[in-house]
Amino acid sequence: LACALVVTLAPMAQVAPSRHPQYGGTLRVEIDATVISLDPPTAPLSPSGALLQAEAVAAKREIESLLYEKVNEDGTVPNASAAGAFRISEWQPGKHLTLVANENFAGGRPFVDSVEIEMGRAARDRRVDLALARTDLAEIPPEEARQASSRGIRMTASQPDQLIALTFTDGTGAVQDVRAREALADSIDRATMVEFILQKDGEAAGGLLPQWASGTAFLFSTAADPVHAKELRAQIGTSPQIRLGYDSGDALEESIAERIVVDARESGISLTAGTIPPDRFVGPNQNARLIRLAMPSAHAGAALVSLAPTLELVAKAGLAVPSDPDAEQIFAVQQAALAGFRLVPLVWVPRVYGVSERVRDWQAPATGERWPLADVWLDAASGVAGTPEPGAPKEK
């Protein structure tokens, strides 16, 4: 056998970073949410409360998963739960949290000595701090992912597992007629949302579970049907007056709402969009709003079971969700939830994280999993910052 030929592949790199973990250092994390209390909840959140406080609840769960070895799905901590990978060193409610490594953690001491979490950091501040290497880990809005990446920020992203949907909050008046709700649903151009608003970092949503999790999302149409929308609009007679609310601090929701206004207008539907006052599920005179639903599990059946109370709240479809649904039942439940057009899926977006150059072994957590901060280590040999944004403050 002749083996004399030498094929040219990639030349050997002269310098190779270590792939073996190192202990030590402080991991700096910035988040948007403000966590006011780390005490276990006294009572389960109502579905509407969970929707309103979704971001803060999610951030609290992440922190709890670092403090306790086990946390129940409802956020309570079992009495017998052992200490987690980290313990609290300093706590300023809603502002700052310092965690230090638990030397005796049953799963092994974390690689980093400590974690500093800054709360309430706006998206732009997080992006600038990542570019200037002032922080090591921060979530980035998916619509800004491409821009951040072009500025040299390392990015990791989850599967698209957050659904942005439109729900009608008032079953009376203009949106009482199912044809009005269906007309609006048909008028929405999801492809444009994905292409231009999300910069392709997302997927059009027709069902309540993404294709990667369910395998059947393609059975729900995501295509706009302006012709049918106009037909329905003509059948109704007078144009329905739809007033759509969106979270005042959510730039992505604002962009999507503005797009829906344009699409609705082209189908002859009168729709206005405005912000929702803080801590309100819907603003005065508003009869629809945008919501975000995070998939609680990567397993389609488990996710649907967990989401059932929230789906019932917004879809009002009298859903009967089996405890362990098979693929056909999962499809049927989604069909039932969407049949009345009270809930209109729009887009799936991923959770996107920016990480500094020195962070190793960080992986965007899979759907339903928590930040793997105990596994993360810091490479002392790295620490190159990305390109600062124009107008970014200079480092002191």
Partner 1 sequence: MAIPFLWLFCFSARAQAPTQIPAQWSNAVRTLADKIAADAGSPSALAMNLTDASSLSAADASAVYDGVLAVLRARRFSIVSPEPPGGRDTRVQVTLSENAETYIWTAEIWLAAGPDKSTERQVAIVSTPRGANAAGNESLVAVTLNRKVIWTQAAKILDFAPLNEPQTTELAILEGERVVVYRADGGNWRLDRAVPLFHSGVWRDMTGLIDPNTGNVSFFGAKCEGDVRHLEQLRCQAGGNATVPAPVITTPYGAPRADTIAIGPACASVGPMLLGAGTGDWTQADDLRAYEQNSQVHAIGQLDFTGPILVLRATADGKSARVVSRNLQTGMYEASIVSISCGN
Interacting residues with partner 1 (CB under 8 A):
1-21, 106-111, 156, 211-216, 218-219, 298-300, 326-328, 331, 360-363, 374-375
11 or 390: CB nearest partner 1: 11
Minimum distance from residue 353 beta carbon to partner 1 (Å): 12
Q: Is 224 exposed, middle or buried (0-12, 13-18, 19+ CB in 10 A)?
A: buried
67 or 295: CB nearest partner 1: 295
Minimum distance from residue 69 beta carbon to partner 1 (Å): 13
252 or 338: CB nearest partner 1: 338
- Other beta carbons less than 10 A from residue 300's beta carbon: 24
3-state SS string over the chain?
Answer: CCCCCCCCCCCCCCCCCCCCCCCCCEEEEECCCCCCCCCCCCCCCCHHHHHHCHHHHHHHHHHHHHHECCCCCCCCCCCCCCECCEEEEEEECCCEEEEEECCCCCCCCCCCCEEEEECCCCHHHHHHHHHCCCCCEEEECHHHHHHHHHCCCEEEECCCCEEEEEEECCCCHHHCCHHHHHHHHHHCCHHHHHHHHCCCCCEECCCCCCHHHHCCHHHCCCCCCHHHHHHHHHHHCCCCEEEEEEECCCHHHHHHHHHHHHHHHHCCCEEEEEEECCCCCCCCCCCEEEEEEECCCCCHHHHHHHHHHHHHHHHCCCCCCCCCCCHHHHHHHHHHHHCCCCEEEEEEECCEEEECCCEECCCCCCCCCCCCCCCCEECCCCCCCCCCCCCCCCCC
159 or 286: CB nearest partner 1: 159
Minimum distance from residue 342 beta carbon to partner 1 (Å): 21
169 or 334: CB nearest partner 1: 334
Minimum distance from residue 86 beta carbon to partner 1 (Å): 14
Minimum distance from residue 56 beta carbon to partner 1 (Å): 28
Contact 309, 318 (CB under 8 A): no
Instruction: Give the amino acid at 274.
Output: G
Minimum distance from residue 299 beta carbon to partner 1 (Å): 7
Minimum distance from residue 341 beta carbon to partner 1 (Å): 17
14 or 42: CB nearest partner 1: 14
Contacts of 180 (CB under 8 A, 6+ apart): 174, 232, 236, 240, 242, 269
Contact 26, 113 (CB under 8 A): yes
Contacts of 87 (CB under 8 A, 6+ apart): 67, 99, 100, 102
Minimum distance from residue 105 beta carbon to partner 1 (Å): 8
Minimum distance from residue 114 beta carbon to partner 1 (Å): 16
Minimum distance from residue 15 beta carbon to partner 1 (Å): 8
262 or 327: CB nearest partner 1: 327
243 or 358: CB nearest partner 1: 358
74 or 361: CB nearest partner 1: 361
2 or 80: CB nearest partner 1: 2
